[in-house]
């Protein structure tokens, strides 16, 4: 490293955010990147640790440790410190097709495994990653890379989320003719409609889509395989097919009163909001408005946070977020050692905004929903809850036990279910005749990505289950390598 004592000389510093009460009137991104001098100092904090764990990318205790796409973090940190930004961009793109996405929405397992962070604050890897690629676009260094030759082989990629786009990008660079099918009206999948604009500006997604199209990839939207085009036709017309349709079956909450109006799945709420925002700046009214409503979000993950922040921007009367799990500790516990992902309390942007408006954290932990209550018009009006306690059974399994007398009633005009996803939708899987694993995901061996049907591959959440954007990119890249090998008998893809 160019500055071997940097981690001793400089404190961790992250990008500044626009103040909550200012940013909630806008759907724009609200982080203000560090200037280049400060980023240089942050790059200098990357120590000469001998065996870096930041780019390992493996599962420890059920969570990612290190970068799943194996970013060459120490190399590009050093290059930023030296001012060699263009070389840093080359290193970054070696392993990550879309650092402008991960630099914004990834939870940064790389930082959780940073050696500096073992006894202090980790390097601001995520901020540096975003800065490198944003500078690359600003300087015009990122231009279409059109393959010099074509193989004549045709590949269909189903789904245009991070897995599908990464797979298509790699196969296109190998010289194959790639067509990406997307059932929505815009390309991007989760990146376009599952993540709000203030967290990932859709112009940034479209910029990368346009770049991929300029490189030779064909995108077809508004087309669902199995309905608009039969699977048999696709297998006939293409030399290989890669399924990257995601894990899109939302988990429901089947309690009394679920049938009342005003109870929605989080993805419907977020998708309709973004589509209306892009189509008309919300002027068409084709979204689920939280304005003036008491909103209850059930689910404590990233999607729940996005719902909180979106409801606030609508001008909701109040927002409450229910989480069945206990509040995480403030610091790492002995049962969660480095380099595991740190399971500590995180107050994300949505909660910060709610605190600024309401004066308190919207989250209520160890809370279970008992039922919904509505009025004579069929509209939800209340959520009835009970506090729970997690107790170990004789077999060691944790189960929730209700605490008598802890029942509460929360006023609710809108309820958003952000409970995660149970697996991929069945239609296309049945259409192709694919085998599924015990979790209903497409059965395809990791590292091979081949399904039981010749010439059909699967990658991303459709294969591994609900996961991170960075895992989807990794799977798309690896599946592309296996498809290239299948088509050509050899491959030069990483």
| DSSP calls for 34-99 | PPHHHHHHHHHTS---SS--TT--EEETTEEES-TT---HHHHHHHHHHT-HHHHHHHHHHH-S-H
Q: Which pLDDT score is estimated for 4? A: 87
Quote the crossing angle between the two packed helices 266-280 and 302-314, to the nearest 10°. Answer: 50
Same fold, 6-138 and 252-419: no
Q: Has domain 6-138 been given CATH number 1.10.1060.10?
A: yes
The yes/no answer on whether domain 252-419 falls in CATH 3.20.20.140 is no
Give residue 119's pLDDT: 87
- CA dist 368 and 386 (Å) reads 5
Dihedral sign for Cα 105, 108, 109, 110, please.
positive
Q: Specify the pLDDT at position 1.
A: 67
> Mean pLDDT for each consecutive 10-residue tract of the chain (494 residues)?
86 95 98 94 91 92 94 96 97 98 97 93 96 98 97 98 98 98 98 97 98 98 96 97 97 97 98 98 98 97 97 98 97 94 96 98 98 98 98 91 97 98 94 96 95 98 96 98 98 95
Domain boundaries, the chain: 6-138, 154-247+422-488, 252-419
CATH code: domain 154-247+422-488 is: 3.50.50.60
């Amino acid at each position: 490293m160019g500055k071997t004592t940097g981690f001793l000389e400089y404190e961790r510093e992250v990008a500044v955010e626009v103040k909550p009460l200012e940013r909630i009137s806008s759907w724009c991104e609200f982080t203000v990147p560090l200037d280049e001098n400060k980023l240089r100092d942050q790059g200098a904090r990357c120590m000469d640790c001998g065996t870096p764990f930041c780019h390992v990318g493996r599962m420890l205790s059920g969570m990612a440790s290190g970068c799943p796409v194996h970013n060459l973090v120490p190399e590009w940190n050093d290059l930023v410190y030296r001012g060699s930004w263009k070389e840093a961009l080359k290193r970054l793109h070696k392993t990550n097709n879309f650092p402008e996405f991960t630099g914004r929405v990834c939870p940064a397992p790389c930082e959780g495994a940073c050696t500096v962070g073992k006894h202090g604050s980790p390097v601001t890897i995520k901020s540096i990653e975003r800065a490198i690629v944003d500078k690359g676009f600003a300087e015009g260094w990122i231009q279409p890379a059109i393959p010099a030759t074509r193989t004549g082989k045709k590949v269909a990629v189903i789904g245009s989320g991070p897995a599908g786009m990464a797979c298509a990008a790699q196969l296109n660079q190998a010289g194959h003719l790639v067509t990406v099918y997307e059932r929505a009206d815009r390309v991007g999948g989760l990146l376009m409609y599952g993540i709000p604009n203030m967290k990932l500006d859709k112009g940034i997604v479209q910029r990368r889509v346009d770049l991929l199209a300029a490189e030779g990839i064909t995108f077809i939207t508004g087309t669902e395989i199995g309905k608009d085009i039969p699977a048999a036709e696709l297998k006939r017309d293409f030399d290989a097919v890669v399924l990257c349709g995601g894990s899109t079956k939302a988990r429901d909450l089947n309690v009394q009163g679920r049938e009342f109006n005003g109870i929605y799945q989080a993805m419907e709420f977020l998708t309709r909001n973004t589509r209306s925002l892009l189509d008309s700046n919300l002027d068409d009214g084709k979204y689920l408005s939280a304005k003036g409503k008491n909103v209850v979000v059930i689910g404590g993950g990233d999607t729940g946070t996005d719902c909180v922040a979106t409801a606030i921007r609508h001008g909701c009367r109040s927002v409450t977020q229910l989480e069945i799990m206990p509040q995480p500790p403030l610091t790492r516990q002995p049962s969660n050692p480095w380099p595991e992902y740190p399971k500590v309390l995180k107050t994300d942007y949505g909660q910060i905004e709610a605190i600024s408006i309401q004066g308190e954290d919207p989250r209520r932990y160890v809370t279970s929903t008992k039922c919904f209550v509505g009025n004579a018009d069929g509209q939800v009006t209340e959520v009835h809850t009970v506090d729970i306690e997690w107790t170990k059974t004789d077999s060691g399994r944790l189960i929730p036990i209700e605490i008598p007398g802890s029942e509460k009633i929360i006023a609710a005009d809108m309820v958003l279910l952000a409970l995660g996803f149970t697996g991929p939708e069945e239609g296309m899987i049945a259409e192709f005749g694919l085998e599924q694993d015990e979790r209903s995901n497409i059965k395809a061996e990791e590292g091979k990505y081949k399904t039981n049907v010749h010439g059909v591959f699967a990658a991303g959440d459709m294969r591994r289950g609900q996961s991170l954007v960075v895992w989807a990119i990794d799977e798309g890249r690896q599946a592309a390598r296996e498809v290239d090998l299948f088509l050509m008998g050899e491959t030069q893809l990483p």
